[in-house]
Amino acid sequence: MYLVNGTSATNGTNILHCLSTYNFGNVFLSIFTITVMLVGLPGNIVALWIFCFRMKCWKPNTVFLFNLVLADFFLLISVPFRIDLYLQDNYWRFGPVWCRINLFMLAVNRSASIGFMTVVALDRYFKVVHPLHWISRMTLTQAGWLTGLIWMAVVALRIPLLATNLHYQDENVSLCRSFNSYEVIPPTIVVHYVAFVLEFFLPWFMLLFCSARIVCILRQRGMDKKKNVRRAIRAVGVISSVFTICFMPNIVTGLGAVYIKYFYPNDCLYYTLLTEIFMVCIGFTYLNSALDPLIYVFSSAMYRDALMAAISQLGFVRKYVRAAGNRETK
């Protein structure tokens, strides 16, 4: 069933374009997000424990990675409510206020993850390609100031989600989406849409540039065989891959839906199909919390060493317990 437009009982004058009652991606999203929670939560708890209790010294790179962990917890707090939404066939049960907060936290996770992944990649780039640049010699204090600026920018760009009622309710329909198909998009949501697109393309091109530039420069210098240099290349490559896998699908499908809406406004079938695929692709943004531990391992030798030391100690404890148990049985 498709409605060319519909008036929200909650939003008053907001009219939705081609509202569909079909939600074919809910089963996939339910399974996918539950899997992300099962993988991402333990991985990020371990990462937080290592950063807080196992890291002997901190560098600017460590500060950025630690804040990436914090950004992931915004997602992990919010995702259970999205899982409930998918299990309820896209029926939002928690009211308009928590709808705003939930979508705000999801958007903050996305923006902060993009910001800190980009900064980590740029840090690797400058240390390898421009080792004498002042950015390569950034102090912990400067890294802290940069981290604060990133969080301020992230929160400021997502304030529109708190200032706009994103809960659509009409009869048996109760939606909680930051990408509702408005006939006339509220100005605050326009800011959200523009930020959503730009925060992908600008960092993505920067990541591609860093990856290509690192490889080219190091090959010209004949340094691409060195172990530490190969690690830097892998770190930027992993960040670029995670970034592309998690954030590109929803950008492509979202822009496709916008194209259909403005050039073929009466084609509700294809518009709704693309918007439903877009909602499925939004689920891929949740995947970044499960994949971010890979970034920690490839981007920080100190994190990697602390993790291996913890695993080694755990193995020693298991052997000790097993040996003690064997002695007791004797």
Phi, psi of 5 (to 5 degrees): -155, 165
Residues 6+ away with beta carbon under 8 Å from 323: none
Residues 6+ away with beta carbon under 8 Å from 92: 85, 99, 167, 174, 175, 176
pLDDT of residue 47: 92
Q: What is the pLDDT of residues 165-176, one digit of tens each?
A: 888 887 788 888
pLDDT of residue 271: 84
Residue 142 tokens read as 């400067």
Identify whether the C-beta of residue 50 lies closer than 8 Å to the C-beta of residue 22. Answer: no
pLDDT of residue 1: 37
List, for the chain, all residue ranges whose pLDDT scores fall below the cut of 70.
1-17, 19-24, 180-183, 222-229, 315-330
pLDDT of residue 25: 77
pLDDT of residue 319: 52
CA angle 58, 64, 68 (to 5 degrees): 125
What are the residue ranges of helices labelled H in the chain? 26-49, 60-87, 95-129, 140-163, 187-221, 227-263, 268-286, 288-299, 301-329
What Cα–Cα distance (Å) separates residue 167 from each residue in 20, 105, 161, 272?
16, 15, 11, 19
CA angle 179, 185, 187 (to 5 degrees): 105
Q: Name the CATH code of domain 25-329 (choices 1.10.10.10, 1.20.1070.10, 1.10.3210.10, 3.30.365.10).
A: 1.20.1070.10
Nearest to 47 by CA among 62, 60, 32, 61: 62
Residue 174 tokens read as 């109760």
Round the CA-based radius of gyration of the chain to a whole number and report it. 23
Q: What residue spans define the domains of the chain?
A: 25-329
pTM of the shown model: 0.84
pLDDT of residue 22: 52
